[in-house]
A and B are shown apart, each in its own frame.
Chain A
Amino acid sequence: MKSAGDRNAGLSIIEREELGTLIDVLGARGYQVIGPVVSDGAIVYDRIASLADLPEGLTDEQDGGRYRLKQRDDRALFGYVVGPHSWKKYLHPPRIRLFRAECAENGLRIIDEEQPQEKFAFIGARSCELHAIAIQDRVLLDGVYPDAVYRARRENLFVVAVNCGTAGGTCFCTSMNTGPKATTGYDLALTEIPDPDNHRFLVEPGTALGAEILGALSSREATPDDETIAEQSIARAVEQMENNTRRMDATGIRELLLDNLEHARWDDVAQRCLTCANCTMVCPTCFCTTVEDTTDLTGDHAERWRRWDSCFTQDFSYIHGGSVRVSPMSRYRQWMTHKLATWIDQFGVSGCVGCGRCITWCPVGIDITEEIRAIRGQINGCKA
């Protein structure tokens, strides 16, 4: 915690309209600026050109299998939580060509795919999402074979985080220690103060580059009042989650799951699971991919494409003779034990950031936190 003496160190205030300048400044520095926009009744991530592109005065109502946008009674620009998209669609693209091949006279020729160095600026990344990016960094960059596609998109990334002032209906980041206040992984962190008379943002630089960009905006030093209001809004989000029954007790969760690979609850959840793979598509940390090899009609040119894959498909575990995970039970178990247990063995952290997307976007509203409570024996009638 900061002491009273250095409360204001590094904290500034920018007016609402100055956020538009931030977008301009980043654009002028060659960044593709990406932020939340409304599309088909949901808030998704897309290119933004100005402040007018951001969703204004909107919030989202989320529950298991349910998502609705609603009007707020203010002009808040970040008055909602996370939608069906995550930033992984930019850093770990859903579909990408890995190489081209030719059948030349002197044999096979493989033509590498140049990975252009992308320069993305993400506006409005939430704390849980910064943790998700840090997790994908471990998966895709920290191993023996760093992923060139990811690296070319990740290296120049500029992040403007937004601290959450409201918790969504399916949020449980406090359970996973991943939010709602951004603590790491950003260049600038904003806390929105959507006061109708004085709509402003508290800004905290996280890197030297962030401070430099902030210097290009017109700002003033934050007052203790500004800080208190900002802290209160984050505290409100925490309180909303603490009052929510949707919490996940993560203590000993690895052992809990690995010791219960044959628990009756897996059959119970399999009765509800449609194996549609939505949870893996919306999850900001799910990284699995498959490859597709194609040829053109002449048969002289071939390509290899990589695309997101899901452990919920039967094809995912196919080996000669059939799939290893035929039953929906085994596929749900694979996903959840990987996410919450074996991920820790593999990468030293949980694969879950508590963003709640898998709950909201599950067509039948399966709730990962409820499944954990059931395996812990905290839900009556579901004991093994």
Chain B
Amino acid sequence: MLPVPHRIERVRRETRDTFTLELAPVSGAAIFSPGQFNMLYVFGAGESAISISGHPGRPEKLVHTVRAVGVVTRAMRKLKRGDSIGVRGPFGAPWPVDLSEGRDVVLVTGGIGLAPLRPVIYHVLANRNKYGKLVLLYGARTPADRLYTREFERWRRRPDTYIDSTVDAAGRDWTGNVGVVTRLIPRADFDAANAIVMICGPEIMMRYTVAEMQKRGVSLDRIFVSMERNMKCAVVACGHCQYGPHFLCSDGPVLRFDRIAGLFGKREI
């Protein structure tokens, strides 16, 4: 499967190390589901697996938020409007937006983990009457590391959402919460007996979040996490993304927690 050239329509700087690319396909847009990802190819530098963070109802505008942390993503940061980038995808198992219908949707994310969940927010808001409460609990390292701040404010002001956020560390001018994101869980307004929880963040954060959700009474088969491993081919052939029996490029990245409970938390799996 070859990368398909896309034109960069817009580059938006999000934080110190993250940016959002809006891509237009040179020919034909691919439909995607929230949680799926693309392999983005930077000419000569290589490919990176990046989740799609745009609106699933508007696939003609392909949106990816990227953190510049490696060779490929640093090269990607240098790209400008009008430049070309290769795209393979979309790949992977999506967030359970269908299963969530009629239930409260609880999203818990840390840092750039908000990006793969943003399509869920768009989807729920676009189909508002199909879902119960929309809960978003968001943690970032510092106030300056928060993503999509203006949009986040708009979500927060809506009467039909419960939105809370926190940062690990902040200066004196910060009036919001300080502490880990799991501390937002006990007071969050949702019906644990009828909720689907979707978690995206570092493994340690997801582990404590699952534990807190269990305390609230959410069963493990209603909790979904997004796992990350090295990825080269995205077509179940290179072997890199294995997590126990799962190939994260096709069985994941989103996995139902009870299916990985025996692996999760074990070191170096």
Contact = CB atoms under 8 A, between A and B. Distances in A.
Nearest to B228: A319
A274 to B, nearest CB: 18
B250 interface: yes
Contacts of B238: 288-291, 309
Contact of A144 (B26, B69, B85, B250): B250
Given A103-B43, A139-B237, A288-B238, A318 B2 contact: no
A319 B45 CA distance: 16
Given A99-B2, A101-B44, A319-B228, A108 B236 contact: no
A262 B3 contact: no
A140 interface: yes
Contacts of B247: 346
Interface in A301-345: 302, 309, 311, 316-321, 324-327, 329-330, 333-334, 338, 341-342, 345
B43 A108 contact: yes
B45 A293 contact: yes
Nearest to A331: B268
Contact of A145 (B1, B85, B86, B245): B1
Contacts of B43: 101, 103, 108, 295, 302
A294 interface: yes
B215 interface: no
A153 B263 CA distance: 37
Contacts of A196: none
B46 A109 contact: no
A338 B243 CA distance: 10
Indicate the size class of the contact surface on chain B.
35 or more
A299 interface: yes
B232 A291 contact: yes
Contacts of B232: 289-291, 309
Nearest to A98: B2
B69 to A, nearest CB: 4
Interface in A84-121: 99, 101, 103, 107-110, 112
Given A109-B5, A110-B5, A319-B229, A145 B240 contact: no
Interface string B75-97: 00000000111100000000000
Contacts of A290: 232, 238, 240
B44 A295 contact: yes
B45 A330 contact: no
A333 B263 CA distance: 13
Contacts of B266: 261-262
A31 interface: no
A293 B44 contact: yes
Contacts, number: 113
B194 interface: no
Given A261-B269, A293-B44, A324-B229, A145 B236 contact: yes
A364 interface: no
A320 to B, nearest CB: 4
A107 B228 CA distance: 31
Contact of B5 (A107, A287, A326, A338): A107
B47 A291 contact: yes
B44 A289 contact: no
A138 to B, nearest CB: 11
Given A110-B86, A262-B266, A342-B245, A316 B230 contact: yes
Interface string A346-367: 1000000000000000000000
A342 B84 contact: no
Contacts of B250: 144
A147 interface: yes
Contacts of A294: 44
Interface in A159-217: none
A223 B245 CA distance: 50
Given A317-B240, A324-B269, 12 more contacts: A107-B26, A108-B5, A108-B84, A110-B5, A262-B266, A291-B46, A291-B47, A293-B45, A317-B229, A320-B70, A342-B242, A345-B245
23 contacts: A110-B5, A110-B86, A112-B2, A143-B236, A287-B239, A288-B239, A289-B237, A289-B239, A291-B47, A294-B44, A302-B43, A309-B232, A309-B239, A316-B240, A324-B230, A326-B268, A329-B268, A334-B269, A342-B244, A342-B245, A345-B245, A346-B245, A346-B247
Interface of A: 99, 101, 103, 107-110, 112, 139-140, 143-145, 147, 258, 261-262, 287-291, 293-295, 299, 302, 309, 311, 316-321, 324-327, 329-330, 333-334, 338, 341-342, 345-346
Interface of B: 1-5, 7, 26, 41, 43-47, 67, 69-70, 83-86, 228-230, 232-233, 235-240, 242, 244-245, 247, 250, 262-263, 266-269
